[in-house]
């Protein structure tokens, strides 16, 4: 289901009366009956109250006539949802044992459009409400947290569904030599793909959930389970605005897709997590500073050897980060963004805390003077016939000029490179 019209009839099907208006949250089964446009206030002839303007239920514009039910859009909806429409929003809320007010909050959080009080909902909609409400009643989730769960799930799956329709499904339904139209190809294609994609989605989600749970459990204390110390990095394409004026839309889309794919693969391969992509910029995180440093340098090296890509710059900061709905917030994130904006092309800038963390873990020398002294001592030990104890550093850090950064005061960036 996509956000905005999930579970509802096609937008081309119009209703004769549109969404009903009125007031009342439907928390009680005893309320005034529905009224149509132009009707006077009616006595309580039924147990369904008029919905508030925009009831927030899943669906698009309701169907106007029975003969529209055999259109391809309706058939596809029934195939994907696996059930016929049976309930109005109020009936679905009542069947689930949920107040209309809470049902509206859940539906809107999931990104579903307002449909008034037409029969557009299925048993699955009732079950989903019942499950969310059950988690609240059992004390496993607060009501606010249940709404957050609905919102994060709706936003993520809406983007996924849009991508599948715009790119994946569109490419597979190109009219073939058979003479069938795209519309005629769509139904059997969805019928074949739906169970496979559904199982794959659940598999990937379980894998990601296991990985995320592991990261949280390994936190040192309760505070770090919410506000954790992470390395956060931005990778930004240099001169992207100029490219948008020079490239055709299709070329620009291919470049952005290649950039996002490359970054996503590199971040995942080296143990980081891709937080989000922003067209010409990606945001990633890692629990270990050494992992983040490797990712940053790999990104630069990979893009440098790709002639189709513009130059890249990377900024990484280390510190306390607040995580919400899969995103990251806080001063550390803002600092990483500022470091990216001041970094020269094909370079990685890091903050003082990141440099100190690399020194603490032995990934980089605390200073080049200390590294030179250690190398000299190792050489003298080798000359005396002793086994030299030479530290092996992966990275080098060069302090840059201090500079004021808006909102963060004066910072001292360090340029990160590979050692040797």
Give the three-state DSSP class for 43. Answer: coil
**pLDDT at 405 exceeding the cut of 70:** yes
Contacts of residue 111, defined as CB under 8 A and 6 or more positions apart, other chains included, come to 2, 3, 4, 6, 151, 154, 155, 158
Kindly give the interhelix angle for 289-304 and 249-269, rounded to the nearest 10 degrees. 140
Would you say 107 and 7 are in contact if contact means Cβ atoms under 8 Å apart?
no
Average pLDDT across the chain, whole number: 77
63-110: per-residue pLDDT in tens? 443 444 357 778 888 888 888 899 999 999 999 999 999 999 999 989
CA-wise closest residue to 109 among 149, 75, 77, 140? 149
Other CB atoms closer than 10 Å to residue 85's CB: what's the count?
A: 22
Residue 22 pLDDT: 35
Residue 99 pLDDT: 92
**pLDDT at 324 exceeding the cut of 80:** no
Q: Is pLDDT larger for residue 213 or for residue 35? A: 213
Query: Residue 189 phi/psi, 5° resolution?
Result: -65, -45
Provide the β-strand partners of residue 277: 282
Average pLDDT over residues 256-280: 89
- Dump the DSSP string for 324-363: ETTEEESHHHHHHHHHHHHSPTTEEEE-HHHHHHHHHTTS
pLDDT confidence tier of residue 177, bands split at 50, 70 and 90:
low
**pLDDT at 148 exceeding the cut of 60:** yes
Tokens of 380: 């003298």
Residue 57 pLDDT: 61
Q: pLDDT over 90 for what percent of the chain? A: 30
Residue 226 pLDDT: 52
338-386: per-residue pLDDT in tens? 999 999 999 999 999 999 999 998 888 877 676 777 667 667 666 777 6
Residue 387 pLDDT: 65
Tokens of 363: 């990934």
**pLDDT at 334 exceeding the cut of 50:** yes
Average pLDDT over residues 229-237: 93
Residue 160 pLDDT: 84
**pLDDT at 313 exceeding the cut of 90:** yes
Kindly give the interhelix angle for 89-96 and 100-109, rounded to the nearest 10 degrees. 110
DSSP 363: S
pTM of the model: 0.60
**Exposed, middle or buried by CB within 10 Å (0-12, 13-18, 19+), for 237?**
buried
Residue 30 pLDDT: 39
Q: Is pLDDT larger for residue 238 or for residue 3? A: 238
pLDDT confidence tier of residue 235, bands split at 50, 70 and 90:
very high
16-74: per-residue pLDDT in tens? 333 333 333 433 333 333 333 333 333 333 444 444 444 456 655 444 434 443 577 78
Average pLDDT over residues 283-296: 94
Instruction: Report the phi/psi class of residue 81: left, alpha or beta, with left for phi > 0 and alpha for psi in -120 to 50.
Output: alpha
Average pLDDT over residues 270-293: 91
Distance CA 125, CA 405 (A): 50
Distance CA 1, CA 307 (A): 39
Least confident of 42-46, 110-114, 254-258, 412-416: 42-46
Largest CA distance in the chain: 104
Tokens of 9: 């009839």
**Exposed, middle or buried by CB within 10 Å (0-12, 13-18, 19+), for 269?**
exposed
Q: Is pLDDT larger for residue 176 or for residue 399? A: 399
Average pLDDT over residues 324-345: 89
Provide the β-strand partners of residue 217: none
Would you say 397 and 362 are in contact if contact means Cβ atoms under 8 Å apart?
no
Distance CA 404, CA 384 (A): 49
Residue 95 pLDDT: 93
């Amino acid at each position: 289901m996509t956000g905005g019209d999930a579970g509802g009839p096609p937008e081309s099907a119009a209703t004769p009366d549109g969404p009903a208006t009125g007031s009342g949250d439907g928390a009680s089964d005893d309320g005034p009956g529905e009224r149509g446009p132009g009707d006077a206030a009616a006595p309580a002839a039924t147990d369904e109250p008029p919905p508030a303007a925009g009831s927030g239920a899943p669906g698009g514009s309701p169907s106007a006539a029975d003969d529209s039910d055999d259109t391809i859009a309706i058939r596809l909806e029934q195939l994907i949802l696996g059930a016929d429409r049976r309930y109005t929003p109020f009936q679905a809320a009542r069947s689930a044992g949920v107040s209309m007010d809470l049902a509206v909050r859940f539906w809107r959080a999931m990104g579903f459009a307002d449909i008034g009080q037409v029969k557009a909902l299925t048993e699955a909609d009732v079950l989903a409400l019942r499950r969310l409400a059950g988690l609240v009643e059992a004390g496993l989730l607060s009501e606010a947290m249940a709404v957050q769960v609905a919102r994060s799930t709706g936003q993520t799956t809406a983007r996924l569904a849009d991508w599948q329709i715009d790119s994946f499904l569109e490419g597979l339904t190109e009219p073939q030599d058979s003479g069938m139209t795209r519309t005629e190809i769509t139904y059997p294609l969805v019928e074949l793909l739906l169970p496979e994609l559904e199982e794959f989605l659940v598999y990937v989600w379980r894998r990601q959930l296991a990985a995320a749970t592991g990261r949280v459990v390994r936190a040192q204390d309760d505070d770090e389970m919410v506000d954790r110390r992470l390395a956060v990095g931005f990778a930004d394409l240099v001169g992207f605005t100029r490219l948008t004026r020079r490239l055709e839309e299709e070329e620009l889309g291919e470049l952005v897709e290649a950039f996002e794919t490359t970054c996503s693969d590199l971040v995942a391969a080296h143990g980081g997590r891709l937080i989000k992509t922003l067209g010409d910029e990606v945001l990633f995180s890692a629990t270990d500073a050494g992992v983040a440093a490797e990712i940053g340098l790999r990104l630069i090296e990979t893009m440098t050897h790709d002639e189709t890509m513009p130059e890249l710059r990377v900024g990484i900061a280390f510190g306390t980060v607040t995580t919400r709905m899969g995103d990251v917030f806080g001063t550390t994130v803002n600092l990483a963004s500022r470091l990216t904006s001041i970094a020269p092309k094909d370079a990685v800038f890091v903050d003082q805390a990141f440099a100190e963390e690399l020194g603490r873990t032995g990934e980089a020398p605390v200073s080049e003077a200390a590294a030179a002294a250690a190398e000299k001592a190792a050489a003298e030990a080798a000359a005396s016939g002793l086994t030299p104890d030479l530290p092996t550093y992966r990275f080098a850090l060069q302090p840059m000029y201090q500079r004021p950064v808006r909102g963060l005061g004066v910072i001292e960036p360090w340029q990160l490179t590979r050692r040797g």
